[in-house]
Structures are given as structure tokens and as C-alpha cells.
Amino acid sequence: MCRAFLVATLLCIAAPMAFAQDPVKVDSKHYSVLLDNDQVRVLKIKYSPHEKSVMHDHPDAVAVFINNSSAKFTLPDGTSTPSESKAGEVRFTSAGKHQPENVGDKPFEVVLVELKGKPASKTNITIDPVAVDPEHHKVEIENDRVRVLRVNFKPHEKLKEHEHPNAVAVFLTDTNSKFTLADGKTREGSGKRGEATWAAGEKHVVENRSNKPAEVILIELK
């Protein structure tokens, strides 16, 4: 009896893992990996008008909407929820299972930053960009997992020196930037609208080298 109970218990524990549906595996048409490390997995999600996915799972995540869209999310119990999104909108989404459908007449495009385990050590930020440069850094979301900033640059504008922990940058516009680090070294950084990149924690000054405004969503990890 004890052995049978143990087997049943192990099966119950294993069941959620066995039936977990990774969207990249079960729906590679609509889900691709932009980057993957020990802290995040970043997905590019693209649906043509009126396309539907299959039921799948996500962990806690931050969704960055690249364009205006209309969607419907069907849950495992059969209920569904409509979702209207604007280009540049950001949402924190809790872990769960759903089946998305693009119910609009335009493409549905999202960058999803899936959160893994918390970092091994917390970065000590001494120059908070929101405190020293609130004109260019606005807090969109903050909870125990992330702080999400909206960063705006005018053409050829240079921001004040500030610091970030490890983060993911999602580009809402094409960008061409110059980063000057605390030791005086410089590097170039660029991105295309709808792309994402890993941004390791550091102190820097950022300059927009483009003739156009730039807008970036920065998901800082806690």
C-alpha cells in the first residue's frame, strides 16, 4: 500500500511537467526564441490575421506589444477573454496556460520576456536612472520580479550617467546608440524595432546617434 501511494504521489508531481506545453515546441510557426540564458527566455510572437495557436504554457513574463492588436485567449476550462493592445503597451502576465487567437484584421506581434529563477546576487544600484533622469526614464511596471522602464531619447540626445541591473531591452523604434562606460571606454549599440537584446548590469552614459527619436522598453530583473 505504501509503495502504491508513493508511486501515485510521484505521478501527481510529474504530471504538470509531463503535460507542460512549451509554445516554441508545440507552435514554432508563431513562437521563436530571440535569446535564452539562466535568467530569461525572450520570445518573438507573430500571428497573421485570424490565426490561432494551440494550448500552451508560459511562466511569469513581461509582454511588450509591437503593434495595435485584437486577440482572444481561451483558458483550459473553455472560458475566453478578449484583449485589446496598443503599440508600445507593456503588461506583466502571471504564469498560466492558454490558447491565443488573433481576432483582428492586422498582424499580432509581441515580444515576451519569460522570467526564470531569480539572479544569484542582487546588483547594488547607486545611480538610479529614475531618480537622476526622470525626464527620460518612466516606470511602467514594478513588482517583486521586475521593474519595467520606458526610455525615450530625442535625436542626438545624451542622457545623464546612470546604472542598471541585468535587464532585457526591447526596441520600439530602430535605435543607434553610443554607450560610454564608467571607465571611459565606449561601445556602439543598435537595434531594430521589435528586436530584443540582453543588457548586462552596468553604469553608463547613453547617447542617441540617430536623427530620429528612440524608444526602448527596459525590463530590469530583480
The lowest-confidence range among 52-61, 111-120, 151-160, 205-214 is: 111-120
CATH number of 22-115: 2.60.120.10
DSSP string, 96-130: EEEEEEE-SSS-EEEEEEEE-SPPSS----SS-HH
Same fold, 22-115 and 129-221: yes
pLDDT digits (tens, 9 = 90+) for 5-14: 333 333 333 3
The lowest-confidence range among 18-22, 163-167, 203-207 is: 18-22
| pTM exceeding the 0.75 threshold for the entire prediction | yes
Percent of the chain clearing pLDDT 70 (strictly above): 88
Average pLDDT of the residues in 63-81: 96
Q: Residue with C-alpha cell 530584443? A: 196
pLDDT digits (tens, 9 = 90+) for 143-156: 999 999 999 999 99
Q: Specify the fold of 129-221.
A: Jelly Rolls (2.60.120)
Task: Report the C-alpha gap between 111 and 41 in whole angstroms.
Answer: 11
CB 55 within 8 A of CB 90: no
Q: Is the dihedral of CA 167, 172, 175, 178 positive or negative?
A: negative
Domain boundaries, the chain: 22-115, 129-221
